[in-house]
């Protein structure tokens, strides 16, 4: 992936007029960042998803950031109940949902006051005028109508639209109740946004028909609202111009838009297929991991068995049971659930049983911020078990990367006979981006061999090891291989219970060495920029996009800055130590208090500077950009990334 | 299917058995080895899964597949194994602490799902492995290392819990009554669905004689009642006592005083567990304690059948899953 260009700069809307449509002109821009915000019942997530899909289908690169309250329906109209969906779509390759907003759509005063700070000066502010009344002001705790304030009118391009009234009028003929008619107003807003950014209505019209096919009156009303919103943009004098974002130049291929959890689920299914295994998924519902279960359970025809357990512990124990039986076994949770799974993970390590443990991280500790993102479970993943219990740890860097890393996790687990931890996070899980659909033949086969039946005359050695130090995966039902495994220390080779002190040290070291040797079977760390120099930015997980974009910008401006993004955290790629020692400064941005930094320092004795944000929010490119430049040497002449 | 004729010794692993001399576990192990050659399942298709505790060392001593897991969670492991490998016969070996304390949750959920497994619960009413603390089945007032002034917990009854979770097979036996124990293990092995066999098992180190009233040959006839489906409930050294349902409670009567027809006939097959629950609640010394099969209801769908049936149905209705079709479903676009 290359990214020599900075992110799309709708902030510098200075494109050329490409057409003159009646009184309106269309301005061509490289990208738009828009946020839709309203009450959690207003359908903002649906609106955002539709705009994302439509933009992706138009060939734009897209990146999204849904942000919603932990409460299912926080009190209506209050600041706590505001649900938002941010989206960047662009004619260039992008890696983040954007920093400052070019446009903000708000359905009520609470959405306005909680989101306005992110709208750039001169940006478009579209407000549902009908949502701004005394009752709503009170709920949002604002003194008077903010839309009347001079500051707003002078700083932004405010467009007040009586959406509720216009929607009611548009759907009147379809005979819906007032309540149901009002529920169509997100489609009105959608139509207006689509007009403003030159989006086609077709994909959303198709969506409406598929989604509500059982209710023809709802289909008709939603369609009417969508078209009315579009027509309003076209006819009203409120907008001077609309914007066009051309298709992005992506690698040739067939694309679809994909969310992180969906990509994880599909990657797991693909991994099971290319390894000739059925998939067993044992889990207990938890935000933000539950959507993996929801997705997997739709695909039982792939041989997928999903088990919604009575608790997190039962979920992972069933997963180990399925692995013992010889299937591809996976469990997933978020931090608090992973904490409960700790003891069973240790058993999996001791039994040397292949499986995947997925942690879709969220804000912690304890229940923390269930719907907000954080990267604070890295040390838990590394060390959150009793005893010496090393586990490989992998982390996807983006929604689409979840597909590849799910397959990679299973390859490592099966090859190594070990549980593998896959660290996603809420930002990746709910975010989406275009995914180039892989050619089936390009997916590397995973070959798994179970030892065959024997006469049983020779004793079977369940802990005899191959060149990867992996033990054989002998499955019940195979004659002659009967053996017992468990959590008591095992004698080398025979697998019998052993308290022998030397054997224990040998087994502990062997299990560690087995994991360490995975480094021989993973790619070396790649770097954006030079492999030595002034500043190296080291990141992991969902911060990839922001770090990549910020480093690219700094490089454009002539700073000697490189970027290494780790997808393999345990073991790390073999060249990482050399890399760290080849720069004057190492900067580690993380959404935690410095966990990767701690690992790098302790492992490689290289000092690292942390950029640490623990606000339940992803990095913006801007804040990383500032931080990186503050550490970098003065810029030399500009160079390409 | 012709199977090689196996003997009890074929099921013995090469590991030394390390229970305390005189432990009731030996008897259960011996009966299991005796029963398995006759259950009609080849040795390699049998898996023992246990939790933690003295009883849970059991899998190491069987020459089958086995897993010694973590405290209280054996039913969880069994669920994943049996769901993916319904061809295997899965035994869960557990103790009163393992299954009713730390594993209470998993115990009831395995039962309510009617997973086709056999749970053998060794009940010695004490924590043996941790050396003598009271367990969830210890008597109220029992003095132990952790209850010097007597336990203030009310004891749990595994049978009541199983029945409350709508178990399809519930039985009780004891280590000292080896033939009965063998019969119960055999009956459990033949049941389709979760079977629970509670085994009274003497811990001669930390709780010796706690269940002597039921285990000692002399005391046994007057303090227990052996249930048989379709037979009137009669017990006592001279078979002179019976159980009668009067109103909504059970009472002990002298058979000399009441007509035979008035005695309660044991109905293990009754889908309504109400009376079976009343039996489970009969406790020494007020009532004789029931042994044998309290409940045996056939025809209830098992979890493992259902989870696999859904896969079969999905394949039939949607066709075998194809990755290409899945990836290209919904909206896609081409970049040239």
d(CA A593, CA A612): 6
What lies within 8 Å, CB to CB, of A542 at 6+ separation is: A373, A375, A397, A398, A424, A425, A427, A428, A431, A591, A618
**pLDDT band with cut points at 50, 70 and 90 for residue B287:** very high
How confident is the model over A474-491, as a mean pLDDT?
97
Instruction: Summarize the confidence of residues A43-54 as an average pLDDT.
Output: 94
Distance from CA of A533 to the nearest CA of B (A): 37
Q: Which residues of A touch B49 (CB under 8 A)?
A: 321
| CA nearest to B98, candidates B78, B67, B128 | B128
For A526-554, how does the pLDDT look when each residue is reduced to its tens digit (9 = 90+)? 999 999 999 999 999 999 999 999 999 99
- Other CB atoms within a 10 A radius of the CB of residue B143 amount to 12
- Is pLDDT of A488 > 50? yes
Q: Is the ipTM of this complex over 0.95?
A: yes
Query: Looking at the partner chain, which of B47, B67, B311 has a beta carbon nearest the beta carbon of A305?
Result: B311
B144, β-bridge pairs = B147
Helix, strand, coil content of chain B in percent (nearest 5): 35, 20, 45
CATH class assigned to A16-245: alpha beta
* A256-442, CATH topology level: Rossmann fold (3.40.50)
Whole-number pLDDT of residue A408 = 98
- pLDDT of the residue at B31: 98
Instruction: Note the pLDDT of residue A15.
Output: 42
The pLDDT assigned to A2 comes to 34
Closest-CA residue of A relative to B88 is A477
Residues of A in contact with B317 (CB under 8 A): 301
Tell me the longest C-alpha to C-alpha distance in chain B. 96
The whole-angstrom separation of Cα A292 and Cα B126 is 42
Q: Which of A298, A114, A369 is nearest to B326 (CA)?
A: A298
Chain A partners of B106 at a C-beta cutoff of 8 Å? 310, 313-314, 317
pLDDT of residue B86 exceeding 90: yes
Residues in chain A closer than 8 A to B307 (CB atoms)? 305, 307
CA B267 – CA B261 distance, rounded (Å): 15
Q: Kindly state the helix (H) or strand (E) to which residue A192 belongs, with its residue range.
A: helix A185-196
Q: How is residue A450 annotated by DSSP? A: P
Backbone angles phi, psi at B89, to 5 degrees: -95, 120
End-to-end C-alpha distance for chain B, whole angstroms: 61
Tokens 């033990």 identify what position?
A471
Q: Which two tokens stand for residue B297?
A: 């209801």
Residue to substitute from A321, A342, A435, interface B, most B β-carbons within 10 A? A321
Six-digit token string for B298: 């056939």
Token pair recorded at residue A319: 């997963």
Same CATH topology for A256-442 and A533-631?
yes
Question: What is the predicted pLDDT for the residue at A3?
Answer: 34
Residues of chain B with C-beta less than 8 angstroms from the C-beta of A300: 310-311, 313-315
B105 closest CB neighbour out of A56, A280, A310: A310
Tokens of B244: 């009668």
Strand-pairing partners, residue A587, are A537, A609
Chain B hits for A321, Cβ within 8 Å: 49, 67, 76-84
**What average pLDDT score do residues A295-316 get?**
98
Alpha carbon of residue A468 to chain centroid = 32
* pLDDT band at A13; cut points 50, 70, 90: very low
Classify the phi-psi angles of B108: left when phi > 0, otherwise alpha if psi is within -120 to 50, otherwise beta. alpha
Gap between the Cα atoms of A189 and A182, Å rounded: 12
Residue of A279, A314, A455 for testing the chain B interface, max B β-carbons within 10 Å: A314
CA angle B68, B171, B268 (to 5 degrees): 145
A326: left (phi over 0), alpha (psi -120 to 50) or beta: left
Please count the residues of chain B.
Answer: 336
Distances (CA, A) of A633 to A535, A554, A561, A626: 8, 11, 9, 13
Rounded Cα gap, residues A274 and A270, in angstroms:
6
Q: Which residues of A220-237 are buried (b: 16+ CB within 10 A; e: fewer)?
A: bbbbbbbbbbbebbbeee
Q: How far is CA A472 from CA A374, A447, A480, B85, in A?
A: 38, 13, 14, 19
Pick the residue from chain B with its C-alpha nearest to A474.
B65
Does A110 score more than 50 pLDDT? yes
Closest chain A residue by Cα to residue B84:
A322
- pLDDT confidence bin for A641, thresholds 50/70/90: very low
Strand B289-296, strand B169-174: pairing: antiparallel
Of B47, B66, B331, the CB nearest to A203: B331
Contact A310 B106 (CB under 8 A): yes
CA B125 – CA A373 distance, rounded (Å) = 47
Arithmetic mean of pLDDT over chain A: 93
Distance of alpha carbon B13 from the chain centroid: 23
pLDDT averaged over every residue in chain B: 96
CA B160 – CA B142 distance, rounded (Å): 21
Do strands A82-90 and A61-67 pair parallel, antiparallel, or not at all (unpaired)?
Answer: antiparallel
> In a mutagenesis test of the A interface, which of B29, B51, B53, B84 is the best target, namely the one with the most A β-carbons within 10 Å?
B84
Band of residue A41 on the pLDDT scale cut at 50, 70, 90: confident
Residues B230/B263, Cβ–Cβ less than 8 Å: no
Neighbours of A2 (CB within 10 A): 9
Q: Smallest CA–CA separation between A350 and chain B, in Å?
A: 10
Rounded Cα distance, A199 and A18, in Å: 16
Contact of A279 with A269, CB cutoff 8 Å: yes
Q: Out of B70, B75, B80, whose CB is closest to A322?
A: B80
CA distance B280 to chain A (A): 26
Please give the span between the terminal C-alpha atoms of chain A, in angstroms, as a whole number.
11
Tell me the mean pLDDT in the region A355-378.
97
Strands A61-67 and A157-161: unpaired
Peptide bond into B90 cis (omega under 30): no
% chain A with pLDDT above 90: 89
Tokens of A605: 């004795």
Chain A residues touching residue B70 (CB < 8 angstroms): 317, 343-344, 347, 487
Q: Which of B48, B65, B69 sits opposite A487 (nearest CB)?
A: B69
- Mutating which of B60, B80, B81, B331 best tests the A interface, going by the most A Cβ atoms within 10 A? B80
Nearest to B311 among A303, A322, A326 (CB): A303
Rounded to whole angstroms, how far apart are CA atoms A589 and B158? Answer: 54
Alpha helices by DSSP H, A254-400 = 260-274, 290-296, 312-324, 335-351, 378-383
The arithmetic mean of pLDDT across residues B168-189, rounded, is 98
Placement of tokens 């990095």 in the chain: A619
Does B296 have pLDDT greater than 50?
A: yes
Whether the per-residue pLDDT at A463 is higher than 50: the answer is: yes
B333–A254 CB contact, under 8 Å: yes
Least confident range of A242-251, B34-43, B183-192, B228-237: A242-251
Helix axis angle for A185-196 and A163-171, nearest 10°, is 110
The answer to whether the peptide bond before residue A365 is cis (omega within 30 degrees of 0) is yes
Q: Which two tokens stand for residue A434?
A: 């275009």
Query: Which residues lie across from A361 on neighbouring strands?
Result: A425
The CATH architecture assigned to A533-631 reads 3-Layer(aba) Sandwich (3.40)
Query: Rounded CA gap, B30 and B291, in Å?
Result: 20
Residues B76-85 have a mean pLDDT of 98
Task: Supply A476's token pair.
Answer: 């019940």
- Closest chain A residue to B78, measured at CA: A321
Domain ranges of chain A: 16-245, 256-442, 533-631
E strands, B109-226, where? 118-123, 169-174, 195-200, 224-226
Give the list of residues 6+ apart from residue A55 with CB closer than 8 angstroms, or none.
A62, A87, A89, A197, A199, A245
Residue whose C-alpha is closest to residue A563's, from A638, A617, A621, A634: A621
A387 has pLDDT over 60: yes
The beta-carbon neighbor of B77 closest among A255, A310, A320 is A320
What does the pLDDT read at residue A70? 84
- What residues form DSSP beta bridges with A87? A34, A64
- Predicted TM-score (pTM) of this structure: 0.94
Nearest alpha carbon to residue B297 among B163, B157, B145, B175:
B163
Kindly determine whether residue B84 and residue A478, on different chains, have CB atoms separated by under 8 Å.
Answer: no
Bridge-based pairing of strands A568-570 and A393-394 is antiparallel
In this structure, what are the phi and psi dihedrals at residue A150, rounded to the nearest 5 degrees?
Answer: -65, -40
- The answer on pLDDT for A20 being more than 50 is no
C-beta separation of A431 from A249 below 8 A: no
Per-residue pLDDT, A68: 87
């Amino acid at each position: 992936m290359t990214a020599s260009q900075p992110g799309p700069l709708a902030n510098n809307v200075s494109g050329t007029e490409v057409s003159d449509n009646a009184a309106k002109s269309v301005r061509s821009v490289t990208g738009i960042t828009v946020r839709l915000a309203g009450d959690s019942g207003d359908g903002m997530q649906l609106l955002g998803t539709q705009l994302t899909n439509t933009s992706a289908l138009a060939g734009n690169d897209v990146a999204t950031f849904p942000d919603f309250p932990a409460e299912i329906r926080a009190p209506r109209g209050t600041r706590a109940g505001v649900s938002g969906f941010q989206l960047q779509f662009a004619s260039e390759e992008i890696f983040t949902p954007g920093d400052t907003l070019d446009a903000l759509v708000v359905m009520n005063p609470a959405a306005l006051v909680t989101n306005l700070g992110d709208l750039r000066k001169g940006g478009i502010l579209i407000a549902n005028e009908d949502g701004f009344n005394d009752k709503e002001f009170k709920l949002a705790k604002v003194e008077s109508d903010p839309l009347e304030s001079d500051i707003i009118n002078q700083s932004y391009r405010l467009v007040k639209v009586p959406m509720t009234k216009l929607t009611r009028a548009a759907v009147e003929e379809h005979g819906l109740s007032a309540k149901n008619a009002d529920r169509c107003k997100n489609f009105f807003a959608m139509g207006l946004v689509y007009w403003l950014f030159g989006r086609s209505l077709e994909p959303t019209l198709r969506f409406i028909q598929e989604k509500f096919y059982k209710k023809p009156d709802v289909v008709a009303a939603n369609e009417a609202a969508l078209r009315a919103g579009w027509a309003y943009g076209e006819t009203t004098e409120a907008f001077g111009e609309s914007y066009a974002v051309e298709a992005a130049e992506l690698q040739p291929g067939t694309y679809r838009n994909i969310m992180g959890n969906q990509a994880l689920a599909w990657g797991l299914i693909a991994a099971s297929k290319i390894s000739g295994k059925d998939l067993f998924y044992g889990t207990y519902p938890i935000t933000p991991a539950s959507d993996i279960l929801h997705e997997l359970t739709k695909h039982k025809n792939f041989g997928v068995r999903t088990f919604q357990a009575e608790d997190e512990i039962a979920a992972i124990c069933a997963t180990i049971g399925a692995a013992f039986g010889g299937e591809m076994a996976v469990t997933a949770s978020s931090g608090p659930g992973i904490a409960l799974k700790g003891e069973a993970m240790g058993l999996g390590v001791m039994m040397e049983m292949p499986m995947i443990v997925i942690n879709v991280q969220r804000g912690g500790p304890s229940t923390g911020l269930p719907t907000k993102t954080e990267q604070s479970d890295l040390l838990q993943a590394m060390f959150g078990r009793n005893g010496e219990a090393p586990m490989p740890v992998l982390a996807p860097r983006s929604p689409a990367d979840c597909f590849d890393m799910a397959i990679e996790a299973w390859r490592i687990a099966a090859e190594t006979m070990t549980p593998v931890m896959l660290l996603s996070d809420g930002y990746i899980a709910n975010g989406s981006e275009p995914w180039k659909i892989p050619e089936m033949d390009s997916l590397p086969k995973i070959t798994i061999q179970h030892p065959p039946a024997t006469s049983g005359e020779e004793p079977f050695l369940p802990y005899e090891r191959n060149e990867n130090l992996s033990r054989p995966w002998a499955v019940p039902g195979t004659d002659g291989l009967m053996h017992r495994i468990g959590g008591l220390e095992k004698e080398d080779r025979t697998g019998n219970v052993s308290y022998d002190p030397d054997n224990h040290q040998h087994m502990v070291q062997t299990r560690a060495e087995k994991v360490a040797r995975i480094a021989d079977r993973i790619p070396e760390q790649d770097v954006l920029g030079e492999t030595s120099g002034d500043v190296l930015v080291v990141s992991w997980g969902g911060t990839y996009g922001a770090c990549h974009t910020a480093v690219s910008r700094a490089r454009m401006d002539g700073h000697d800055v490189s970027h290494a993004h780790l997808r393999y955290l345990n073991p790390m790629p073999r060249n990482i130590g050399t890399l760290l020692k080849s720069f004057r400064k190492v900067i580690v941005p993380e959404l935690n208090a410095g966990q990767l930094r701690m690992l790098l320092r302790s492992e490689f004795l290289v000092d690292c500077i942390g950029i640490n944000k623990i606000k339940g929010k992803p990095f913006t490119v801007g804040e990383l950009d500032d931080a990186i430049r503050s550490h970098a040497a003065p810029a030399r002449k500009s160079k390409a990334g | 299917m012709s199977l090689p004729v196996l003997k009890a010794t074929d099921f013995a692993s090469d590991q030394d058995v390390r229970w305390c001399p005189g432990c009731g576990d030996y008897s259960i192990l011996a009966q299991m080895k005796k029963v398995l050659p006759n259950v009609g399942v080849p040795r390699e298709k049998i898996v023992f899964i246990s939790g933690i505790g003295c009883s849970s060392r059991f899998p190491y001593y069987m020459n089958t597949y086995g897993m010694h897991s973590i405290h209280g969670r054996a039913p969880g492991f069994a669920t994943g194994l049996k769901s993916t490998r319904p061809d295997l016969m899965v035994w869960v070996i557990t103790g009163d602490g393992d299954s009713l304390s730390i594993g209470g949750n998993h115990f009831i959920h395995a039962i309510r799902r009617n997973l086709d497994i056999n749970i053998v619960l060794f009940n010695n009413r004490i924590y043996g492995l941790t050396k003598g603390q009271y367990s969830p089945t210890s008597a109220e007032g029992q003095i132990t290392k952790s209850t010097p002034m007597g336990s203030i917990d009310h004891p749990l009854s595994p049978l009541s819990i199983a029945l409350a979770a709508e178990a399809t097979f519930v039985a009780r036996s004891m280590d000292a009554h080896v033939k009965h124990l063998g019969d119960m293990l055999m009956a459990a092995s033949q049941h389709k669905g979760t079977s629970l066999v509670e085994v009274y098992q003497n811990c001669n180190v930390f709780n010796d004689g706690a269940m002597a009233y039921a285990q000692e040959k002399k005391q046994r006839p007057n303090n227990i009642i052996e249930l048989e489906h379709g037979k009137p409930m009669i017990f006592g050294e001279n078979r002179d006592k019976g159980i009668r349902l009067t109103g909504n409670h059970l009472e002990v009567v002298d058979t000399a005083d009441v007509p035979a027809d008035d005695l309660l006939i044991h109905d293990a097959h009754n889908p309504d567990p109400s009376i079976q629950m009343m039996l489970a609640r009969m406790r020494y010394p007020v009532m004789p304690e029931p042994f044998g099969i309290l409940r045996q209801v056939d025809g209830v769908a098992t979890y493992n059948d259902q989870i696999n049936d859904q896969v079969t149905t999905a394949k039939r209705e949607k066709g075998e899953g194809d990755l290409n079709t899945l990836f290209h479903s919904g909206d896609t676009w081409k970049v040239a």
